[in-house]
Structure formats: C-alpha cells, structure tokens
Structure 1
Amino acid sequence: MRKILVSVLLVFIASATSWAQMTEDRIIQYVLEQQEKGMSQEQIVYNLSRRGVTVQQLQSMREKYEKQQATGVLGNTVPMVDGRPEQRVRERSQTLNLVQDDPSSVQLTERERLLQMYDEAMFMFTDSLLLLKQQLFPPEKEIWGHSIFSNKNLSFEPSMNLPTPQNYRLGPGDEVIIDIWGVSQNTIREVISPDGNIMVEGVGPVYLNGLTIQAADRHIKRELSQIYFGLDKDDSGSNIKLTLGQARSIQVNVLGEVENPGTYMLSSFATVFNALYMAGGVTEIGSMRDVRLYRNNREVAKIDFYDYLQNGILSDDIRLYDNDVVMVLPHSMLVNISGRVRRPMYYEMKDGESISTLLDYAGGLESDAYRNDIRVIRMGEFQREIFTVSKDRQADFLLADGDSLYVDSIKTTFSNMAEIRGAVFRPGQFQIDGEITTVRALIEAAGGLCEDAFPTRALLSRTNPDKTLTNLAIDIQGMVNGNVPDEPLRNDDVLFIPSLFDIGEIKTISIYGEVMFPGVYRYADNTAIEDLILQAGGLKETASIAKVDVVRRKSDKNAFEKSDELSETISFSIDENLSLNDGGFTLMPFDEVYVRRSPGYALNRRVIVEGEVVFPGHYSLSTNNERLSDIVTRAGLFSNQAYPAGARLERKMTDEERIRMRKTVETLSANDSLALAKKLEKLMEATTIDVGINLQEAIDNPGGADDIILRDGDRLIIPPFANTVKINGAVMFSNTTPYVKGKSLAYYIDKAGGFAQKAKKNKAYVVYMNGSVAKGRKASTKLIQPGCEIIVPTKEKREGMSTSEILSLSSTSASLATVVLALINLLK
C-alpha cells in the first residue's frame, strides 16, 4: 500500500509543468539589462525565478565566479562568508532556521526559495558587476585622433567652391573652360579625352594632359592664336583665360590598417585625409603618425596627422593623383596617460618624444594635478618596472611602447584651515594664519554668536598627527568675555557651537478634541490654555467650556526607582470668549490639552417617511427614544391605500457595522463557493441595511418590542396595497400572479410553469415587502402574503479546474509527497 501511494504521488508530481531554463550567459545579460533600466535587485531575482532559473544554476555560476575571483580575474568589495555576502548570511540566519543535510529533502516555501536565490545571485549585484560587464563587452581603447573619423559632424569632403590652384595638373576627365573676350569673343567647354587632348574647332586636338592650370593657359593661348588674331600679343585687345570646370574623378587605393581597405573614386581635389575618411578611418592598431603615400611605385610622402589634431595645421595633407596608394602602417609606440590630465587616453608617440610632448598632446595638467612627479609603468624584459619622474626630468625622459603614465592629484586636505559650525552667523572654513589664530578670532570672523547659541559649552575637534581626534571643551561665554584664556587654533580644527534648539528634545504642546485644528504645536514660554486654543483655530460649537483637561508628564530626574504614577490631570473651566484672566493656567512643555464634547450639545437627527402616510417627508427626531409609532403619528397616520404589513425600514450602517460586515464577508468568501463570494462582495458595497419590521404591531402596541427606536438617517417606506405575488428564479417562466388567499407555495410555482431543471426545490424562500424572509417549507399557506416574492435558487454550475489551480494542486501534492516520504522513512 505504501509503495502504491508513493508511486501515485511521484507520477502526479512528475506530470507538473517543467520550465525551460535560461543559459548562464543569458542570465548575466538579463541582469545587466534590467539594472540599466533601474529595476531593483529583489524584482530581478523574482523575474529570474519566474523564467525558470533555479537555485542550482545560480550556485554553479557563483562557484565559477569565485574561482575567477581567486585567480584575480574579478574583484569584490562585499565581505564574503562561505562565498556569500556577509550581510545576507546574517539576515538569513535570523529569518530561516533550516538544517539541510540534503537540500532535496526539504520543501522550501516560495519566500524561502526566493531568499535562497537572492543569496546566490548577490555576486551579480556587487561592484564586480562592472568588471563582469567589461569581460562580456570589453571596451575599445580610446586612442587620440581615431574618433575624428567617426564624427558625423565632420565629412572631410574637398571644397569645390575654391579657386582652382595654379599648380593643379589636368588629366583625362577634367572639363576645361576657355573664355575669349575683347576684339574676339567666344567660350569653349571641352572635356579632356583619355588620350589627353581637347578638340578645338579650327585648330584640332590640343594636348593638355599633365599640364598645370598655369601652363595649360599659356599653351592654349599659343594654339588658339592661329585662329584668333592678336591673342599672342599683349596690346591686341583680345584676351584668353583657361579655367577648370567639372573636376575629374580619380581612383585611389587605401590599404593597411584602415577599417575598410579598398579602391575609392575621389574628386581630383581629394587629399590623404579625405581618402582615410572614405575608408572609415584607421583601426585600433593603425598609425596616425606614419601614413605613407606611394605614386608610380615609389614613396612620395610620409604624413603625421598629430600636427593637425594639435594645432589645426594640415601642412602634410597632400593632394592625391590617379592610382595613388595610401598605406596606413601599424603604430610602433602606444602609451597611455591617466589621472589628472585634460585628455586621459592612449597616444601614439614617436621615437625621441618625451613626457613633456605627451603632456602637450593630453591638453596639459588639470588644476588639481600633483605637478612634482609623474609615475611611469614600463614593460620590462621579464616584469614590469615603475619610474617616478620628477618635474625637471620630464622633458628628457623618453617614452617607450606600452608605457602607462599616471598623474596623481593633490591632497584634498588643507594646510591652513579651521572650520566653524553651528550657531554663528557665517559658518564655514577660514584661513588660520594671519589675523585668525585663536578660537575667539575665528568666532569674530564668522560674524559672532547667534542669539540662540548655547553659551556655556562648545566643542573643538582637533586632528592629531596620527589622524586620531581629540575633543576639547570650550567655555564660549567666558572666552568671549575674556574670563577664560583664548585657545590657539591648529590646522584642521573644527569648532562646533551648539544652538539651544540642538540640545534636548524639541519642546511641544498638544491639543485634542473639540477645536478646529487639533494637533502638536511648538512650545512658547508663558502660554496659557486660551492661547493654545487660539492657535488651534478656536473652539467648535460642540466644545464644552465647563471642563477642559490638561495632562502633564511626571518627571523626577533624581529618582532611583520607577513610579506608578504616570501623569497628572488638571481640569479647568474656561471663558467662552477666551478673555484675559490674570489667574489663568500656564502650560508647561509637553502638556496635552483635551477639550471635551459638551454633553448638552446634540446634532439634529433626521428620518424620512415615504409612501402612504398623510404627510410624507423629512422629520427631525425630537428625543433620543423616538419610535416608529411616534413618527407615523407625526406623519398623520396611514392613508387609505396604505399597506402597513409591507412597510420596511432602511437604516444607514455605522462605520463599526461596515467593518464588522467586511470581516464577516471576508471570512465567508474564503470558505465558500465562488458564486457566494460574488454575492458577498456586493454586500460589501452596500451602505444601508434593511430592518425587518411589523409596523401594524408597532402602531397597535406603542413602546412594545416591535416599536423600535429610530436612528439618524432612517428611511421608513410604507407601500400601497399590492394584490400580487412575484415568482422568480429557477422556474419555467418568471412572472407575477394575483394573490389568492389560502393558496400554498406549490400553487404559485405551478403558475410559473413549475420548477426548472436546475432548481433547488427544497431551498425556495419568500421575501416579504417589509424585508423579512421565510423558508419555503414554512411558507406553504398562511405565510404567503400580498406583495411577497417567491425565489427559487439555481444549482451552482461545477466548473473544471484552471491551469493555475492544477499547478497549485500539484504544488500541494508535492508538499504532501514530501511529508509521506518522511513518514515512510520513519516507519521503516
């Protein structure tokens, strides 16, 4: 039997839904993404749990992380205990008391499981997360000058609106414009052909390839003088000028350490910088200081762009020709400078350049930089070396590839400062050499003592040479008056002068009860009860002036044992106009004043009488004990159409009644069916209740049990006579039928076509017009009255279990299986 039970439970548990687990890389990526969005650590762990991540996964990740940490790959700033953050271990030891020899043998609650997951995931929420992110997404080196090619605001396109340089060499594809004016006038536009010629009518081909603009102008002048008289003479009155129209395109090869090496079509005005921009700039190892230009298979230029980056001068930016080759070589020396410089990053250096040159490239030192020396870390043959280079050696200290320089900052401490805080007019830090050398001089420099300064004692906190602190008590009043010797100041002294309001509790007084603004007020000396009432907005109309209570604390600072007496209560009467009274009571700090509600004050209480009375409407209750019979009599008694047996009373619920009903509904909703729970929820929204009454009996026997006492807000409704009976609910046809005296419940059910298929026949009930209810089996004959309603309830529909309910049952069964297995082991 035990084996069968265990087998059934295990099969049921195995049928539960299994979640697909996230990979470790995806878990880390998810944590990084959610932290960047501002999600809390607890919510991240909860979401990981919902995505199927298990404690075992996090344990495996943490073990890998600890191995990396042990080998120096990652750092951690959180104290660890057994691989877990110390603080979380303490919290867990206080909240959980689980002994787990075998983790699989303990069924954790949802909260305990999440806490355990949180412990295992803490390594992802420490300062090491940044290092972990750097391992997944290592940052690129920021090398000075490389980012200029990725700047979208810089296009580095050659300007076509400048005058054509006289040394520009023409080639195939260039358009030339020949303007002739004076005695002869003409304009000739021709494109240089691939063989280097332009065709001029009347002259024939004219060879211009390879000529500069200046040389081409002279050459074309000689050639066209054959057909234009006097062009070759200065005083002929005819002139000619050759200019460049549309410039040709050239092919340039960009090779080496560039992002996109290849062949590019560029304008004939393009330079080396334009070519590098078209190729996407240099790579991380590409040189900005050794760019070679080859033309006709020989090197024609070696270009260093740092002069442009540093000074904006492009003296080495040479214009390109067709079939030129731009070669970017790898850098030969890359150094890094960090710390207090204006541009901390990597820089490409040349042989023979020193620290001073590097500082120029880095924009110089920050204002808070330590200028006396710079630390240089260099890669030696077998290990690293460090050099401390003083200021006077920086111009001569030559750099090497891989050097890492660090510029420290000056100390944040002061060499000549004393600080004053507290009750002075100008607190702050002051120079202590010169005019300010003593405590008294420091107070005067700070504008003097405030009116609320504590006069008898101040505190001077002094930093010792070993950075420990010493406190000196100062008699401020005696020192200011010259009765006590002045105290010399030292560097880093901090003088604190407390305010009277900084010492002890904040003195308050309180007032409660029948005032406009009850609450806590700041205490002021010589405050009378009447003064506090004025501060609180005055008395309400409901306030009693015959009795005002003052509750005063019991305090004995010299006592050695507790007292049974907690407070003292003093009662007074006050003047209604709060007029001045020489013998008035003066309040002390922390007194509590209670203004009572006057027993002689009563608010108007109203009821409503509706329906078949002679004078329906609103009525004000004249006494606390006014009853149903009294109010009906005041309303002129019943009209001829009144049906007293159907009268009902609606009553407003008090706050206490609503709270009590809410608790009852919550209890029933937790234990009963869903359909009943929905009905109970509607009850929670109600603000009134129906009170079952027998109005005719109340009129016939005034003051009797049925003549109930009325409350404020009651609503009495007296309907006209109704000679019908309603039948609703699980019947074939809900309707209203005439009342027949003496007929039973079955008679009226038949009038509605009989019971429906899902009717609860034995649960039928009758609701009378006065709000009372009778069960069906007791309402057979005489209890069926005019105007009543017969209701037949319906059997509840049984619904199948939802997926969440099945999973909940699976979880419950899993817990049950754990208990059963434990019992079986105990019984062995």
Structure 2
Amino acid sequence: IMKGQIQDDIRLQDGDVVIVPTYDELVKITGKVKRPMFYEMKNGESAATLLKYAGGFSSDAYKKSIRVLRKDGKEFSVKTVNDIDYSAFKLLDGDVISVDSILNRFNNRLEVKGAVYHPGVFELSGSLNTVRQLVEKADGLLGDAFTGRAVLYRERENLTKEVLPVDIQGILNGTSPDVALQKNDILYIPSIHDLQDMGQVTISGEVNKPGSYTYADHMSLEDLVITAGGLKESASLVRVDVSRRIRDPKGTAEPDMIGQNFSFGLKDGFVVDGEAGFELQPYDQVFVRRSPSYNEQVNVTVDGEVLYRGDYTLNTKSERLSSLIQRAGGVSRYAYVRGAKLRRVANEEELRRMEDVVKMVRREIGDAMANTLGLKVDSTFTVGIDLEAALANPGGDADLVLREGDVLTVPEYNNTVKVNGAVMMPNTVSYADGKSVKYYLSQAGGYSANAKKSQKFIIYMNGQVAEVKGSGKKQIEPGCEIVVPNKTKKFNFANVVSNATSFASLATMLASLATMMK
C-alpha cells in the first residue's frame, strides 16, 4: 500500500471472510520526520524500516542519532541509537522514537554591520577569514564610516562574549596587522552619525506642513520654512520665533538661563529682520505666529420669518442680534418675535462642563437610567433670548453678541399652551389672553397626587424659563409650556432629568447646569 503496488491485491468474492488479527508491534515516532505518527511493525523490524515508513528525516532533523523510549515491563528506559546502528536496532511493541532537530547555531557564520555598502552575513572560509577580507566582501566602507575604531564581537568557547577593538583604517592601509576571524564573529563599523547626535528641528504654527525635520549643517530659517511647505496665508511676517537649547557639555553648575529665543521678520519667505546669517542648530524649535489682523469668515444663520433667511458673515466680533435681523431685511408680518430662539454651538469649555454634568448625573441616577433617557452631551444648545427687547434697544443687554455657528430662528405665531409634568392628563390647549395658570392646569385635569404645586415653572418658546408667580396671568404667552414638577423628599437628578424632557433637548438642561457649576 505504501508503494502503490497492487499485484498482490486479491479480488473479493461472495462469501469471503476477511480476518484482521491484532497487531504484533505498534510503535510511535515523533519529532523531525516527514510523517510522525503511530506505525504497525512486524516482529524483528528495525529502526531503519520505521524511518522509511515515516518518509525519512526532515530537513532540520539531527541525523546522527535517535532516542528510543522503551517499556521493559517494570519501568521506562531510554536508549540512544547511533546512525550506524539504525538497521541493526530491533524495535519492540510500545517503543516511542524521538528525532531531535539540529543545533540552533552556525559553524561558519560571519557578520558585518554598520557603515559598509553591503552589511550582512557571510561564510567563514579559506578565502574569507580576516577583517580586511570581510570589509572587501561587503564592497568597502561608506563615506560616513568612522575609521578610527571598529568593534569586533567574539564568542568564546564557553559561549560568553568579548569585545575586541579594531583599527579598521590601519588594517585597510596596511599599517596595522590584519585580524583573523572566527565563527560567529560580528564586525561593527560605526558611522559618524551614530557617534554624533544630529537631532532634528521642529517647526509649528502657520506653515503648510508643520512637524519635525532632520537637521543638516548650515540649515537656515528660510530652508526650514520651504521644507515645511511655505507659509500659510494667516502667517505673521513680522513675528517668527526660534527657541534654542543651551548646551554646555563641560558645565558643572546649573545655569540661570535654560533657553535662548530669537525673533525674525520675513518677506516672501526670506528673513528681512533679525540676526544676519542666522543658522539653525539641532533641536531648535521654530514658531510661525498667526497674524493678529488675519481673521477667517465667521458665519451665522437666520431662519424663519425674516425677509432674507440664510447664512450671514459677521462684520465685527461684537455684532449683535438686532444687526443680524436688520441685514436679513427685518421680520415678516407673520413673525412671532417674542418666540424667537437662538441655537448655539458649544465651544470646548462648554462641552467640558457639560461632560462633567453628565458624569455627575450618571453617578446619581445610574448608567442604566441615563442610557434609557438618552443622556449625552450634545454639541449644540438653546440660549434664552428676548429678541423683542433686543430690537427695541439695539446694543442693550438683551441684544446678545453673536458667535460662529449661531442659528437664530424667528417662528410663526403659535397660539397654543402646553401643560406637562405632574398633571392628570398632559395636554396642549389654545392660548386665552388674560387667563391664569390655574385655568390652563384645569384643561389638563388639574394636579396629580404627587405634584409639587409651589414650584411650577414656565418654559417660553425662546428658551427662557420663569418661575410662576401668583396667578401667572401676565406670564403666560402664546407657545409657552407650563411644567409641574413631581414631589421629592430631596433634590435628586432623576427628577431633574425626567423634567428635562420638556426642554428642546437635554443639551439645554446640561448647558444650564454647566453654567450654574461655573
């Protein structure tokens, strides 16, 4: 079967009986052979026959001997069989044969590293057995090779290592004797760059490709600016700063100064103001400042009931709501100015404070409830404004200063009032001029059993919130919302968050809490 020969293959006929007797010997071979497994052997067959069944040794097998683990009826024994005895050594039932791998070492290996044209591993031979021959085999030294001293790492007989200094320049010139090599020698020829910290220079700020660049001798500020892709449109041409380390290798005391700073003016990328002939040094840091007179467009949006809705670029950093409405052509005759609201993009500081609020709320109410409510930081929030007062008194306190990303929405008139919170049936009802809060609560079935009547409040369309005072007749406006909070024995965030669903978004609540935490 192993050889694919079928001349002795008997054709079976009806009524034939095939008897498969038990094996005589079953042995196992492991390790570095091509087919390691169990094999059935006949009595008297040798280790050579087993190796033949196993396909022979693999390429990394140690072929000088094999190891046999044998059971003698009382205990285990180990037998080492040399290669000349493979054919004579007879196997027994239960034998386990192990074939080891070759040693992980070389008997003729040389290596050269460093400043040569072809570093790598070479063969120790009759024609390659000295330092000079090894360097020539690697095609010689590079131009930056440090020839004053090379290092030869050598392995002793006891496998410890030693370092031998080599005068590589003297050997190549013939003024110093050549050094004979041994197996596993490693020759390292350093580069002058390995022995000298060349460092880098760094440029940041208003350049197209800020970052760190490799230092080169006689590198000027202009060279680095060009390497960094040139100046941006926003770069200042009158203020480019260079900071430099103070180095004193022979110093023995801590200096008073820890750095030097230089300032330059540029024109068309060239230095026109500063130290003449200034050259950079390793680890210099260059800062290209932003021009204080350069500003990118800052856009805001006005939407809703204005004549010319859309995006507008602010003319000044102090432009206000009234100016934006004027530039948009004023409000339309259908506009409900008191209900106008401002949507603002949170800056980094506001986002950080809102994140702190979210973490605090999560600690109070737990992650599960926070996830159910969808409690997370939103990048925008509503700012409570009074556009009617802003238009009546431009430049006054109500006339808010705008900032980038603001969206001002002037809605249509909305003559409904929403009743929410701890009432029998939350409802939206028609606005009736002069009616008290009690009237609107009755439209929602009145208070529920757990209502906190004394702390009801009103949320207006413009995002402002007011506590109900007295009957609240003068406080009710079209489009507003009356909220009755639940009774709680003590203040807790669960109640705050549950009531916060009445806001335009949770971000409004978070922004309000974040403002209170300042």
Normalised TM-score (structure 1)? 0.52
Partner Cα separation in structure 1 for residue 482 and residue 235 of structure 2: 52
Matched, 1:549 2:241: yes
Q: Which amino acid aligns with 2:298?
A: R
**C-alpha distance in structure 2 between counterparts of 1:702 and 1:535, whole Å:** 51
Q: Secondary structure at the match of 2:172?
A: helix
User: Aligned with 2:383: secondary structure?
Assistant: strand
Inter-CA distance 544–353: structure 2 relative to 1 (3 Å threshold) = same
User: Do the aligned residues in 2 keep the contact of 1:643 with 1:719 (CA within 8 Å)?
Assistant: yes
The structure with the largest alpha-carbon Rg is: 1
Matching of residue 572 in structure 1 with residue 251 in structure 2: no
2:470 and 2:261 map into 1 onto residues whose CA distance is 61
Hey, what's the Cα distance between the residues in 2 that align with 1:617 and 1:317? 93
CA deviation profile, 1:589-608 (whole Å, cap 9, x unmatched): 22111111111112233444
1:512 aligns with 2:211: no
What SS is found at the alignment partner of 1:471?
Answer: strand
1:657 match: 350
Contact 1:759 1:792 in 2 (8 A): no
2:291 maps to 598
Indicate how the Cα distance of structure 1 residues 325 and 457 shifts in structure 2: closer, same or farther if over 3 A, else same. Answer: same
Paired residue for 1:789?
A: 480
Report how far residue 434 of structure 1 moved: 1.5
Report the more deviating stretch, 481-490 or 387-396.
387-396
1:438 aligns with 2:124: no
Change (3 A) 1:648 1:324: closer
Tell me the alpha carbon deviations over residues 641-674 of structure 1, each in whole angstroms, 9 at most, x when there is no partner: 6665444433332232122122223313432589
Alignment map for 1:293-332 (pairs within 5 Å): 308-309=1-2, 311-314=3-6, 316-318=8-10, 325-332=17-24
Q: 1:400–1:771: structure 2 CA closer, same or farther, 3 Å change rule?
A: closer
Alpha-carbon shift at residue 546 of structure 1 (Å): 0.6
Does the residue aligned with 1:329 lie in a helix, a strand or coil?
coil
Which among 310, 314, 320 is matched to residue 621 of structure 1?
A: 314
Structure 1 residues 580 and 342, CA gap change in structure 2 (3 angstroms): farther
Q: Determine the structure 1 residue equivalent to 2:500.
A: none
Structure 2 CA distance, aligned partners of 1:397 and 1:767?
100
Match of 2:464 in 1: 772
Q: Distance in 2 between matches of 1:675 and 1:682?
A: 10
1:448 is aligned to 140
Deviation track 1:94-152 (CA, whole Å, cap 9, x = no partner) reads xxxxxxxxxxxxxxxxxxxxxxxxxxxxxxxxxxxxxxxxxxxxxxxxxxxxxxxxxxx
Whether the 8 Å CA contact 1:547–1:571 is kept in 2: the answer is: yes
Find the aligned partners of 1:392 and 1:643 in 2 and give their Cα distance.
Answer: 108
**1:361-440 alignment, distance < 5 Å:** 361-376=53-68, 378-380=70-72, 387-440=79-132
Give the total of aligned pairs.
485
Offset of residue 433 of structure 1? 2.7
What is the CA–CA distance in structure 2 between the aligned matches of 1:612 and 1:322, rounded to whole Å?
Answer: 101
Indicate how the Cα distance of structure 1 residues 791 and 437 shifts in structure 2: closer, same or farther if over 3 A, else same.
Answer: same
Pair 1:762-2:458 in alignment: no
Contact 2:148 2:168 (8 Å CA) reproduced: yes
| In the alignment, structure 1 residue 692 sits paired with structure 2 residue 385 | yes
Label 1:558 to 1:329 Cα distance change in 2 as closer, same or farther (>3 A): same
Matches of 1:659 and 1:470, distance apart in 2: 59
Residue 728 of structure 1 aligns to a residue whose secondary structure is strand
Q: Is the 8 A contact 1:628 1:695 kept in 2?
A: no
Kindly indicate whether the alpha-carbon contact (under 8 Å) linking 2:202 and 2:283 is maintained by their aligned counterparts in 1.
yes
Q: For residue 585 of structure 1, what is the aligned residue in structure 2?
A: 278
* Aligned match for 1:479, one of 164, 171, 176: 171
CA distance in 2, matches of 1:704, 1:448: 83
Aligned mates of 1:674, 1:386 — CA distance in 2: 65
Query: Shift of the alpha carbon at 1:511?
Result: 1.3
Separation in 2, partners of 1:386, 1:749: 98
Q: Residue type of the partner of 2:204?
A: Y
What amino acid is the match of 1:539?
L
Closer/same/farther in 2, CA of residues 536 and 328 from structure 1, 3 Å limit: same
| TM-aligned CA deviation for residue 486 of structure 1 | 1.5
Q: Distance in 2 between matches of 1:449 and 1:327?
A: 77
Q: Per the alignment, in what secondary structure is the counterpart of residue 136 of structure 2? A: helix
Q: Give me the identity figure in percent.
A: 41
Measure the CA separation in 2 of the matches of 1:321 and 1:673: 80
User: Which residue in the other structure is 1:726 paired with?
Assistant: 417
Cα deviation 1:499-519 (Å, max 9, x = unaligned): 455556572221111122222
Which ranges of structure 1 fall in alignment gaps of 5 or more residues? 1-307, 798-828
Distance in 2 between residues matched to 1:672 and 1:337, nearest whole Å: 66
Kept after mapping to 2: 8 A contact 1:460/1:493: yes
Kindly tell me: are residues 326 and 489 of structure 1, through their superposed partners in 2, closer, same or farther at Cα, counting changes over 3 Å? Answer: same
Match of 1:258?
none
Gaps of 5+ in 2: 489-518
Q: Which residue of 1 aligns with 2:180?
A: 488
Residues in 1 aligned to 2:50 and 2:331: alpha-carbon distance in whole angstroms: 110
Q: 1:313 to 1:779 in 2, by over 3 A?
A: same
Describe how 1:201-212 pairs up with structure 2 within 5 A: none
What does residue 399 of structure 2 align with?
A: 707
Aligned-pair CA distance for 1:543 = 1.0
1:675-690 correspondence runs (5 A): 677=370, 681=374, 684-685=377-378, 687-690=380-383
**Alpha carbons of structure 1 residues 474 and 794: separation in structure 2 relative to 1, 3 Å:** same
Tell me which residue corresponds to 2:509: none
- For the 8 Å contact 1:727–1:749, the answer to whether it is kept is no
Q: Which amino acid aligns with 2:354?
A: M
**Are the aligned partners of 1:546 and 1:572 in contact in 2 as well (CA < 8 Å)?**
yes
Matched, 1:522 2:214: yes
Which letter maps to 1:671? E
Kindly provide the CA deviation profile for residues 291-341 of structure 1, in whole angstroms up to 9, marking residues without a partner as x: xxxxxxxxxxxxxxxxx53x4445554556765554443333444444444
Cα distance in 1, alignment partners of residues 220 and 373 from structure 2: 54
Q: Name 1:668's counterpart in structure 2.
A: 361
Distance in 2 separating the partners of 1:713 and 1:447? 65
**What TM-score, normalized by structure 2, do the two folds share?**
0.78
Name the SS for the 1:748 alignment partner: helix
Aligned counterparts of 2:473 and 2:162: Cα–Cα separation in 1: 100
SS at structure 2 position matched to 1:707: coil
Instruction: Give the partner amino acid of 2:294.
Output: Y
1:455 deviates by: 3.2
User: Kindly tell me: are residues 566 and 347 of structure 1, through their superposed partners in 2, closer, same or farther at Cα, counting changes over 3 Å?
Assistant: same
8 Å contact from structure 1 (residues 649, 693) kept in 2: no
1:351 Cα deviation (Å)? Answer: 4.8
Q: SS of the residue aligned with 1:666?
A: helix
What value does the CA root-mean-square deviation take over the aligned residues? 3.9
- Native 8 Å contact 2:156 2:162 kept in 1: yes
Pairing 1:745–2:443 present: no
**Cα contact 2:130–2:179 (8 A) shared by 1:** yes
Quick one: distance in 2 between partners of 1:720 and 1:350?
Answer: 102
Structure with the bigger percentage of helix: 1
Say which structure, 1 or 2, has more relative contact order (CA 8 Å, 6+ apart). 2
Residue number in structure 2 paired with 1:173 = none
Task: Specify the SS of the correspondent of 2:21.
Answer: strand
Query: Could you give the per-residue CA deviations for residues 787-819 of structure 1, whole angstroms, max 9, x where no partner exists?
Result: 25242336499xxxxxxxxxxxxxxxxxxxxxx
- Residue type matched to 2:24 in 1? S
1:633: Cα distance to partner?
Answer: 5.1
CA deviations on 1:65-118 (whole Å, 9 max, x unpaired) are xxxxxxxxxxxxxxxxxxxxxxxxxxxxxxxxxxxxxxxxxxxxxxxxxxxxxx
Question: Counterpart of 1:23?
Answer: none
**Which amino acid in structure 2 is aligned with residue 789 of structure 1?**
C
Asked if the contact 1:745/1:779 (under 8 Å) is kept, the reply is: yes
CA distance in 2 between counterparts of 1:756 and 1:686 reads 35
